[in-house]
Each structure stands twice: as C-alpha cells, then as structure tokens.
Amino acid sequence: MAYGDPGRRVDETSAAMLEALFTGSPVGLHLLDPELRVVRLTPGTPAGRGKSADDPTGRPMREVYRMVEDNDMEAALREVLKTGEPLRQRLVRARVEGDPPEERCFETTAMRLESRRGEVLGVAVTAVDVTDRERGRARTRVLDAVRRRVGRTLDPVVTGEELVEAVVPQFADIAVVEVVESVIRGDEPPPAPLPPGTPLMRTAFRSGTAHPPQAHPVGDVRRLPAPTPFTQALTDLRPRIVPLRPGAEWMPADPPRTHAIRSADTHTLLVVPLALRGTVLGLVSLYRSGDSPPFDTGDRRLAVELAAHTALCVDNARRFIREHTIAATVQRQLLPRRPESHASLETAYLSVSGADPGAWYDTIALSGARTALVVGNVSGRGLNAAAGMGQLRTVLRSLSAFDLSPDELLARLHDTAAQLAQERASLPPGDPLRREALTANCVYAVHDPLTGTCVMAAAGDLAPVVIRPDRTVSIPDTPAGPPLGVAEDSPFATAEIDVPAGSVLVFTSDPLVTAYLADSCRQLRAVSDYAERPLQDLCDAVVYALPDGLGAGDAAVIVARTRSFPSGAFADWRLDDDRASVATARARARDQLAAWGVDEETAYQTQIIVSELVTNALRYGSAPIELRLIHDRTLTCEVRDAGQAAPHLRHARTADEGGRGLFVAAQLARAWGVRYTAAGKTVWTEQSLAGDGH
C-alpha cells in the first residue's frame, strides 16, 4: 500500500503539530518576524487572551510586552537572529496590557527560524509564566532576610528599623512600625483587644521614594483614632488587606494618615498586629503604591510570619529592658551615691547606666588620711551580676576596715569569691544560675597623701590611667593577679607609684576603656591643665573621648585628683627607747594640739591615748618608735614601731596592775586599729573633732 510522498507527509505532520501547539499548548508560543513583530501567538499567552480590536498581531514585541526589568530582551532576540545561538530560560519581567495592566514574570527561550534554503524567517519564543513561582521565591527571600537581620539587638526601636529595612522595597513600598509605649519601657504588654487610648510610639518608617510623606514623625507617641483598619487589627489580632479607595468610610477618622496615603499614591494597605500569646505589642503597616501589584493572600501569609518573628524579637527586647532596668536599679542602690570628701584627694564617679550591672566603684576613707579607690566588675548579666557585685563590694568594705595591704585584701576577697562560686556550682542542676560562673576583676589602690604614693593590687588586667602634673600619661605596670573566684594559686602582688600633687588617676572596670582613655588623654593634654580643670569637666571629657559603642555606660569609672596635704596639718617625732619618752610624747602632743586649736577635752583624751600607745610600743615593740598626729576630718594618733607582735585589747581584772592601755585607748577613740608593713606595725586611733558631725 502506497503512502504517497514521504516529504509531503512530514510537512503535513509538522504543520499539524504546529497548529496543535498554537491552539492548545499551555506554554506561551510567539512567532516573530525578523523585525521582531508578532506574527502569531498562542491564546494561552496574556497578550493572546480575548484578541479583538487590540489584536497584537503585527505589532512590535516591545509594545505587546512592556519590559519592567530586562530592557535588553529585544537586543538579546536580535542576537539570536544574527548568530542562531538559542537563548535559554531567560527570566524577564514585563507589564501585560489589560484592565488594569499587570506585571508578570516569564521564563523565556528563543530560537531562530530558518527555511530549508537557510533564509532567516524570524524567531520562535516560548514564554512560561512563572510569576507565582518567582513571587514565592521573593517571599522566601524576604522571610529569610527578616529572620537573619531582625532581632540582632535587644532594642525594640532598632528591631523595628531592622524590619522596615528588610521589607522595603523587596516586599512593600512603604513600611511603618508602631510599638505600644509601655512595651518600650519594658512593661508587660496589654492583652487584646488593645484598650482604647493606649499610646503607641512610631519606631520605624521607610519608603522607597526620596521624600515620602509621613502622617507622624518617627519617635512620635500618639493614640490611634478609631475606628480604622489599624484599631480593628489591634482588637481582633487579624491581619487585613485594605484597598485604599478614595473616600473610604474609615478615612475621616484619621486625617493625617489619609493625607499621607493620598500623597504617596498608595493603593493597598496590609496591616498586621504585633501580638504574642494574646497580648498586643504593636502594629506593622505595609503599603504598595504606583505600579506595584496589590497585596494578595500569599502576601498576607508572609506578613503574618514576619510579624510573628518581629513580635518575638520585640518581646525579647522588652524582657531584657525590664531586667536591665531592675538590675540597674539594684546597682544604683548598692553603689555609693557620691564620693566621700577627702582633703587630699578629689574624686568623682562617672554615671553608670546599668549596661554592665556587675560593675562597681567605691572610695573608702582609711586611717592616716589615706583613701582606698576601688573599681571592679563581676561576670554575668542582669540581677545575678548585680547581686554578686553587692556581695563582693560589702565584703571588700569590711576587709578594708582591717587595714590590710592591697595584695592581702584581694587574697581574702578571692577566697570569698571562690566560696560564692562553689555555692553557685552546688545549686540544683535545673537552676540556670548554676551555669553562670562567678568571676570578677578588681583593682584596689590606696593613696597616701603624706608620702605622695599610691599602692595598688589587681585581680585581672586592671590598672589606672595616670596623668602627672608634667602632663605625661601612663598606665602603671600593675601585676595582674588571677580573677576573683578562679581556681588559681597565683599570688597577688602590689605596685607602688608616685602620684605628686596635681596628678589625675582614672580607674575603669574595663581594660579596653582604659586603653582608649590613655590614648585620648594624651590628646587632651593641650586642652587644659589637669591640675586646675574642674573634675566634672574631666569626667565629661572622658565620655566625649570614647568611640561610638564604647561609652562610660560600659564600665564603672572613678576620676581622682591628688592634692597636697597641708604641711601644718600633721606632725611626727622619733622617740627614744626608754620610759622617759612617754612624758616627752605627751608634752609634744599637748603643744601641737594647742597649736591646732583642739578643744581641751579632746586634747586631754589624746594625751591619755598617746601615753598608752607609746607605753605599749616600749613594752611590747622594738625601736625605732615614732609618734604621728594628723589633723584632718578627724584627729588621728599613730604610734609606729619595728615589732610585728600583734597587740590585743584585754579586759584587765581588778587586781591586775596592767593590761588596760589598749582598752583605755579604744574607749576614748571612735575607732582604732593596727596595720602592718614590711618595716613593722602602726597602731592608730581616730577621734572626732568638734563640728565634724560625729
């Protein structure tokens, strides 16, 4: 049986297949002539639907599909015509004619058409509408960006800024975030529905245009007028897609927003509540304007996910602020409000914001007109750090009353910190505090105005910045002992530095801040004389000198300036090692007290104290023996000898001939004590002076 001409049959089959493709294929097929005019297209293409008076046949391709992003598509098709090299799976966005015009995304492939004689007939273009796929991918990218970028800080205001930066212009043309004002302060969010009149703060605004209109500026706190889509969303906690038609019934309730909406040419609003566990934290308002497509249900689902992530980040920030506020309050109550005044040392504290609740500072008046300067920092955060700080500060103050040397004091403080760390490690396994190791850094320095020196020891790498009267700036080479609470056997060591009158010392609890201050102080030398510049000005200069992100709120800071101790306010004498020295010491004390104008009663009591302390040194100590009187806020009597035997206060019995000396001295003085040095010991007493308030 003959089938006729095989070539003719192939042509008929090819024509039939081509006709089938152009009439029934779901893929958009376009035949273009060498001038890129439409010859034929399938009804399935957006341009081929309902062909009538707007029949695209014969029109240039660029008129049928107005390109939005890929303006080089026409050039690419001409390259296909020229070279015959196919164009495969090129992604283009084009605006399709219609009512209204619609922006679509196509995946295109183009191949050159040739006759059997090699003549170029045109180009065949397939276009697969992948708008939904690309929108899904775009939504996924937006969601990934929000999850990656939003919530990097524990600040509800910054969280809103991060959100609007992530969604504009990728998802919306305008984005606004408003947060309940009490949430900004760290308070518990109100339950839904949001009570009428609850103020909200506009924390973030972003637009894709250069000078967008705003209903209210960022930072503005207002109550939302009602009823509007915004208040409705905060009532039922449901997102809403709202077409912004002119004259919408809710617009008269909120004229400022209505004016901003009209000025920005927005056509669709997507409003989503920031809610968590039935409570209201705020509101996200997303707008599309101009040629952007309206929001659809897929966009609404994405906005709900974005808002859920943002709400969780805002709530985390709120909880941090609340804990931070409580910890800062505890810290302020545990720290001294103002430095103690000392004739030979002027001190000032820099305000600590509570960013580091474990940081502390202190100044402690010691015997012999000396002053202890303390700065420290406990590891951890929040209330636990503040509580640990309070414990260590209290112990340190108690230890300072024993007149211990700085290295010995830190050694005993180290034992206390280790004990507290052990107690923390013994907590039940479920207690989160058990997982927070207790360690601390601390520097303890003692300034002696009579010798012009400062003796210090440090746990951790802490040391002051020292600016001497000649304006040289240095950080003393203070031996760094182990952090408090760390199981190390390394001993603490002391360093002694000269601090002549007019020197400025800056102690901080953060070595990084200290390093920055050392550099900045070198630059400040030409500004003013450190010896005369008001101390508060120096405190301000310290804050100004720190770089962004490293402020005084990150560390506890003490600024101290040394002063000359009045030469006539103290007197000392070397005594002979015999019993006659008691009378000599008493007579010299009487004359000196009279020269100072000390009242008779105090002068009489001091003479008794001098007698008892000198007698005690002669009996139980060893030469040389020295007597020193210091006239400061209090009257200090010191007797030094080379012996190391510790004196003990005894309650002598009635028949005892001695043993009452130290008891008598303790009864007449308001305080007494003993401090040891490598050269011996000093027994001292302090008496109140008339008018000192004690």
State mean pLDDT over 385-404.
Answer: 90
Measured distance CA(539)–CA(546) in Å, rounded = 11
Fill in the DSSP letter of residue 90: E
CA 472 to centroid of chain Cα atoms: 33
More confident residue, 266 or 42: 266
For residues 264 and 255, what is the distance between their CA atoms, to the nearest angstrom? 14
Number of C-beta neighbours around residue 81 at 10 A: 19
603 by DSSP, 3-state: which?
helix
β pairing state of 495-498 and 504-508: unpaired
Query: Closest by alpha carbon to 369, among 451, 470, 484?
Result: 451
Give yes or no for a contact between 234 and 194, defined as CB atoms under 8 angstroms apart: yes
Six token digits for residue 2? 């003959």
**Is residue 663 helix, strand or coil?**
helix
Question: What 3-state DSSP class applies to 315?
Answer: helix
Partners of 575 in beta bridges: 625
CA distances from residue 482 to 415, 418, 559, 592 in whole angstroms, order as listed: 12, 12, 25, 46
Alpha-carbon dihedral sign for residues 258, 262, 268, 271 = negative
Residues 45-73: b if buried by 16+ CB within 10 A, e if exposed? bbbbeeeeeeebeeeebeebbeeeebeeb
Contact 417, 485 (CB under 8 A): yes
- Give the separation between CA 618 and CA 66, rounded to whole angstroms: 109
Buried b (16+ CB within 10 A) or exposed e, 157-167: bbbbbbbbbbb
- Which of 111-120, 553-562, 656-665 has the lowest average pLDDT? 656-665
What's the token pair of residue 321?
A: 């602020």
**Residue type at 660?**
R
pLDDT band at 101 (very low <50, low <70, confident <90, very high): low
The pLDDT of 507-526, averaged and rounded, is 75
pLDDT at position 237 = 94
Across 296-300, 414-418, 650-654, least confident range? 650-654
DSSP 8-state secondary structure symbol assigned to residue 425:
H
Confidence label for 105 from pLDDT (cuts 50, 70 and 90): confident
Encode pLDDT of 111-121 as tens digits: 898 888 888 88
d(CA 470, CA 504): 11
Report whether pLDDT(286) > 70: yes
Phi-psi category of 380—alpha, beta or left, where left has phi over 0 and alpha has psi -120 to 50?
left
Mean pLDDT score across all residues of the chain: 84
241, two tokens: 């897609």
DSSP per-residue letters across 202-236 = EEEEEESSSS---SS-TT-EEEPPSSSHHHHHHHH
Which of 141-145, 239-243, 352-356 is the least confident region?
Answer: 352-356
pTM score, two decimals?
Answer: 0.69
H or E stretch at 192: none
95, 150, 162, 176, 345 from 146: Cα distances, Å:
29, 5, 8, 15, 54
For the chain, the maximum distance between any two Cα atoms, rounded to a whole number of angstroms, is 155
| H or E stretch at 573 | strand 570-575
Rounded CA separation 81/35 (Å): 10
Per-residue pLDDT of 404-462, as tens digits, reads 999 999 999 999 998 988 888 888 887 777 777 888 999 999 999 999 999 999 998 88
DSSP 577: S
Mean local confidence (pLDDT), 546-566: 78
Which residue is it, tokens 């058409």? 113
User: How far separated are the first and last CA of the chain, in Å rounded?
Assistant: 134
Q: How far is CA 139 from CA 133, 647, 679, 680, in A?
A: 10, 81, 78, 79
Domains, the chain: 6-129 (3.30.450.20), 135-323 (3.30.450.40), 336-562 (3.60.40.10), 567-688 (3.30.565.10)
Mind listing the pLDDT tens digit for each residue in 573-616?
999 888 888 999 999 999 999 999 999 899 999 999 999 899 88
3: helix, strand or coil: coil
**Which residue matches tokens 């012999």?**
368
* d(C-alpha 393, C-alpha 367), whole Å: 19
> Phi and psi (nearest 5°) for 556?
-85, 135
For residue 100, what are the β-bridge partners? Answer: none
Residue 311 confidence (pLDDT) above 90: yes
CA–CA separation, 515 and 517 (whole Å): 5
